[in-house]
Amino acid sequence: MFRDKVAVITGAGSGIGRALALQLAQEGARLALSDIDQAALDETLSLLPNEAGDTTRGYLLDVSSREDVFTHAGLIHKDFGAVHFLFNNAGATVVGSIEHLSIEEFEWQLGVNLWGVLYGTKAFLPDMLQRREGCIVNISSVFGMISFPTQGAYNMSKFAVRGLTECLWSELHGTGVHAVSVHPGGIRTGIAQTARHCAASGDYEQQFEGAADKMLITPPEKCAADILKGLRKGRRRILTGHMSRRLSWISRLLPDSYPALLRRMR
């Protein structure tokens, strides 16, 4: 399914993006990898098998920049031609209550997690539609199914990514192009260590200190393997990682009362 196919992965310098890159390289895919951190991206490139060197390229990219993403798409089409898989994976988080988060902090968060996904989708979708072939894989989250305190901006972005992707399910029907929404649970990436904390952070935010350590336990390699397995099976929604299925069911069965359960789980 992936051999000799071109896969674009944003946020490939660490975590799920790096794991996807390594596993797709083993599958024989041709890789266009990007990250905002050049050193992290270089480390991912150094971990790839030797035979992947001739079919892989790395790109420095800020997904929150519309101009940069569309320029990036043009470079990839020039370097590789057709793109078969787009993994809109790059993401970040800022910790803070909605009361304490500034508008600028919301804008930064949505720039990476929401606008980055939209820019990537808009930049690569036209060519996929023209060729009637392709798959857009958008990384949402279990926090795109339930909302968690101090993750208001992150929740907004991931619910929006889910909504965007599920709209594509209908709009792309019969076109040969597919959209997939991935909802990772507690994946042990570096997102907790690199998370920003709002400037007005206070006692309320401190109540949730350490929650990430308890939840982020699934290795990113397992997450990446689940994503590729889901793609092979033709899944449109992929759940993976610690508590992902449990939280998915909670959102369905207790849509109005799940916050009470979250308070017990902290």
Q: How far apart are the first and last CA of the chain?
A: 41
Q: How many CB atoms neighbour CB 152 within 10 A?
A: 21
- By CB atoms closer than 10 A (0-12, 13-18, 19+), residue 225 is middle
154 catalytically annotated: yes
The residue count of the chain comes to 266
- By CB atoms closer than 10 A (0-12, 13-18, 19+), residue 170 is exposed
User: Among the options 119, 154, 204, 258, which is catalytic?
Assistant: 154
Q: What is the dihedral of CA 216, 58, 180, 189, to 10 degrees?
A: 0
- Give the span between the Cα atoms of 5 and 27, in whole angstroms: 10
Q: What is the CA radius of gyration of the chain?
A: 18
Which tokens in the block code for residue 217?
Answer: 């336990």
Which tokens in the block code for residue 71?
Answer: 């320029």
Which tokens in the block code for residue 219?
Answer: 């290795």
Count of alpha carbons within 13 Å of 77, Cβ hemisphere only?
A: 12
Q: Going by DSSP bridges, is the β-strand pair 6-9/85-88 parallel, antiparallel, or unpaired?
A: parallel
| Catalytically active residues, by annotation | 154
